[in-house]
Amino acid sequence: MQPLIEQPQFLLEPKSLYIFENQPIQLECKAIRTRQIFFNCDNKWVPENEHIKSTEINDRGVNVIITKIQLTVEQVESNAYKCFCQAWSATGGTLKSRTATIEIAYLDKIFEWEPLKTDSVIGKSVELRCRPPSGNPYPKVTWLKDNRPVEINRNGRFILSNENSLLIAQVRKIDAGNYTCVASNIAGSYSSEPAELIVHDNRGWSDWQPFSECKGIPCSTGRQRRVRTCLNPPTVTNRPSCDGEHMQERECPVPCLQDSPKVQDVPISEWSTCVGSPCQIGKQKRVRLCSKQTPCNTEEIEERDCSVPCTNSNTSNGIYSDWTNWSTCRLPECRSSRTRQCLQEPCRDYLIETRSCKENFCSSTFVSSSTLNAVVYSSAGIGVLIFLLLAILFVIICCRRRQRLPTKK
């Protein structure tokens, strides 16, 4: 008959803990029906002289073996440091406890995001952002208002978001003050710089101004607008402090232009190209060709609104002065010109125009520069050719004279 093997039983097993500087931790195991308990940390048996052993008798009169060890941050090499204890009974039974993980606790000093000065209007909501510094375990965030704890309540006006920002609903005048974000864990506690919350009275909008003049192509549907002003002061973060839009637009009928008094038998030019910003209302002109034979009883230049076509460019052409009078005909091209000035950039059209002069306006005796150049180059070519012929003739004469000289014997 085989002897009965009695198995140990743990009453207390080691727990996972955080460790940090100057604060050693203690792991403890308790077991019954055992003779001894040893700890194993980081896959190594802890030396026997580092074990703190004791015994006690429980309420049932059973002998309890207690074993403890102490660890310092210098012994823990990484956050994967693990320990367990193992018990042996007098009859050869053995039992291993659960494994405890020992992690190094820390807390940085620098916040990832500190709350900033902000403002709000009475009755609005406001958010004070805070991102705590990195730490292990993850730090807990609390808030202070004027160095007093803020009561966070999900059913109240002060709510802590999942990102640790402080949300204040239905802002009141008494909510104004300095708010501080506090991050803490077992390694310590750090506070952000105070951020001021300014609360303004809600004065709302001014009355709407009258609608503007109806803009558009005559005898068609145009648009007109009206605006109003937010009476609340500008916010620190440039966020709108009034609900709603500051401008309204509506369609409107554009009145037709009154016909000008007709002038019989006076020719009139076509309407010019519509000038102005793309997709906006521009101007176009036409001119009456008045003369002594056909005098004008009305203005020589007519002007009207027009719709400027839209383009892919966001910039429009510039503004120009009127053209000057045509100049007198100039030689040698026999052309006249006129100019204008750029009054506002960008100017992309020509600032100078030229045209051919009519017959008998230019002298026929003028020799153009191209003709003069042809004469010069022809004369130069002839001179070079004569020089070459004279050189060849000189060489031939020299050769013949040399042949006539008697040779020495």
Say whether 163 sits in a helix, a strand or coil: coil
Q: What angle do CA 294, 300, 301 make, to 5 degrees?
A: 150
The 10s digit of each residue's pLDDT in 49-88 is 999 999 999 888 899 999 999 998 888 877 779 999 999 9
CB atoms within 10 A of CB 249: 12
The full set of domain ranges for the chain reads 9-104, 118-200, 206-256, 257-314, 317-358
- Give which of 98, 104, 28, 100 is closest to 70, Cα–Cα: 28
Please tell me if the domain spanning 206-256 has the same topology as the one spanning 257-314: yes
User: Taking phi first (over 0 means left), then psi (-120 to 50 degrees means alpha), and beta for anything else, what does residue 110 get?
Assistant: beta
Predicted confidence band of residue 316 (pLDDT cuts 50, 70, 90)? low
pLDDT of 344 reads: 75
- Give which of 333, 287, 285, 325 is closest to 305, Cα–Cα: 285
Question: Looking at 1-10, 13-22, 172-181, 242-251, which range is the least confident one?
Answer: 1-10
Predicted confidence band of residue 330 (pLDDT cuts 50, 70, 90)? confident
Task: Provide, rounded to the nearest whole percent, the portion of the chain with pLDDT above 90.
Answer: 34
Mean pLDDT value across the chain: 83
Is the CATH number of domain 118-200 2.60.40.10?
yes
Residue 133 has pLDDT above 50, yes or no: yes
User: 179 near 195, Cβ under 8 Å?
Assistant: yes
Predicted confidence band of residue 275 (pLDDT cuts 50, 70, 90)? confident
If one compares 96 and 21, the residue with the highest pLDDT of the two is: 96
Quickly list DSSP for 219-279: TSEEEEEEE--B-SPPPTT----SSS-SEEEEEEEPPPPPPPPP-TT--BPPPPPPBSSTT
CATH number of 206-256: 2.20.100.10
**Fold (CATH) for 9-104:** Immunoglobulin-like (2.60.40)
**Strands of 126-128's sheet in order across:** 126-128, 166-168, 158-160
**Averaged pLDDT for residues 313-328:** 73
**Fold (CATH) for 257-314:** TSP-1 type 1 repeat (2.20.100)
